[in-house]
Amino acid sequence: MMIVLKPHLSEEEINQVVEKVKQVGLSPHISRGIERTVIGAIGSDAPSKKEIFESLPVVEKVVLILKEFKLVSRDFKPQDTIVKVRDVEIGGDEVVVMAGPCAVEKEKLLIEAAKAIQKAGAKILRGGAFKPRTSPYSFQGLGQDGLRYLAKAREETGLPIVTELMDARDIEVVAKYSDIIQIGARNSQNFTLLKEVGMVDKPVLLKRGLAGTVKELLMSAEYIRSQGNTQIILCERGIRTYEDSTRNTFDLSAIPVIKSLSHLPIIADPSHALGKRDLVPSMALAAVAAGAHGLMIEVHPNPAEALCDGPQAMYPDKFAELMKVCRRVAEAIGKRM
Ligand code: PEP
Ligand code: MN
């Protein structure tokens, strides 16, 4: 349930309510607005405790959140969440583009890609060091060396980096090197891993599962949020359907649906959704028009030689062209890019 406090309370008064929430066996989650503080009191028997809080003089009202996802819902927090990554803000008026190769390969190649995407206007560098591959015989990523190359590229360009975490045993090293920890589609419902990233103080980019529903994505985000991490970015990356003319089926409608249900930022990854580089631009533009807070796009200086996802990787010059048109679409709907 959501305990809405009266405006302008002192820290001590807020803390007394937080303590009371703990006393009755619920877990408190504080959300501070400009005027008012709201305390989410989570626990299966929350409804039976409603009256206890309604009777407190500092409480304005108590609202039960009927949806299964609670802390990530708009009911709990009506204002959009903005996730800050160094000096980049995701979730506000700027459409933030994350771009780079699927996998980190050679250091020089990564730096070349980083410079190209930066010049085109991307704000965050992507690249996988731990790769979730369908075949155990495919390139699995460079592991820690890949993380070091990413850090080097950040040092050279100033671009923050996003990279995937596949295994909880690597959480410390991935958190150490990255600015955003990516949880990929295949781990979207790895609840143990979700709880682990919920405990770190680092933004998390959570991708929609291979055949996940919007609700399942939001429940996964709830796992992260329930552990205390509020810095979550959602990502629509296409879902498996019977349609096989594209790698996945890009669910454009998920963007406005998620924006109506949740306060978390939602970005779109048309690269993994479409799977073919020539199809990426149209859906990137559509996603911006639909209100996505950002894009994730795979770009490789030499896609023919890419060790992973070459067919969907854009050439840097085509990516730069796309960025120009994206900017015009963003501006047409009152956003910046
Ligand atoms: C990726 O971003 O390289 C990736 C593996 O994406 P997804 O988890 O969406 O398949
Ligand atoms: Mn990829």
Q: What is the pTM of this model?
A: 0.96
- 86 and 157 Cβ atoms separated by less than 8 Å: no
What's the pLDDT score for residue 321? 98
What whole-number distance in Å separates Cα of residue 298 and Cα of residue 117? 10
The ligand 1 atom at the shortest distance from the C-alpha of residue 208 is: 9
For residue 99 and ligand 1, the question of a CB distance below 6 A is answered with: no
Q: Whose CA is nearest to atom 9 of ligand 1?
A: 185
Task: State whether the beta carbon of 290 lies less than 6 angstroms from ligand 1.
Answer: no
End-to-end Cα spacing for the chain? 37
pLDDT averaged per 10 residues in sequence order, the chain, 337 residues:
94 95 95 88 92 96 92 94 97 98 98 98 98 97 98 98 98 98 98 98 98 98 97 98 98 98 98 98 98 98 98 98 98 98
Residue 188 CA: which ligand 1 atom is closest? 8
Ligand 1, atom nearest to 237 Cα = 9
Residue (of 332, 304, 297, 294) closest to 318 by Cα position: 297
Helix, strand, or coil (residue 168): helix
| Nearest-ligand number for the alpha carbon of 280 | 2
Q: Which atom of ligand 1 is nearest to the CA of 235?
A: 9
CA distance 91 to 309: 28
H-type alpha helices, the chain = 11-23, 50-54, 107-120, 144-157, 171-177, 191-198, 214-226, 254-261, 270-274, 280-289, 316-332
Mind listing the domains of the chain with CATH numbers?
2-63 (3.30.70.1140), 83-332 (3.20.20.70)
Nearest CA to ligand 1 atom 10: 185
- Residues 234 and 254: their CA atoms lie apart, in Å, by 11
Q: Which of 135, 142, 164 should be mutated for ligand 1, with most atoms under 8 A from CB?
A: 164
Q: How far is CA 172 from CA 56, 198, 275, in A?
A: 42, 13, 31
Per-residue confidence (pLDDT) for residue 67, from 0 to 100? 87
- Spell out the residues 6+ positions from residue 58 whose beta carbon is closer than 8 angstroms to its own: 5, 6, 9, 13, 16, 17
| Confidence (pLDDT) at 66 | 86
Q: Whole-angstrom Cα distance, residue 250 to residue 239?
A: 7
Strand-pairing partners, residue 249, are 239
d(CA 259, CA 74): 8
Position 19 scores a pLDDT of 97
User: In which residue are the tokens 């410390």 written?
Assistant: 172
Does 207 contact ligand 1 (Cβ within 6 A)?
yes
- Tally Cβ neighbours within 10 Å of residue 318: 15
Ligand 1 pocket mutation pick from 135, 182, 193, 314 by most atoms within 8 angstroms of CB? 182
Ligand 1 neighbourhood includes 185 CB (under 6 angstroms): yes
CB 320 within 8 A of CB 314: no
**49 DSSP 8-state letter:** G
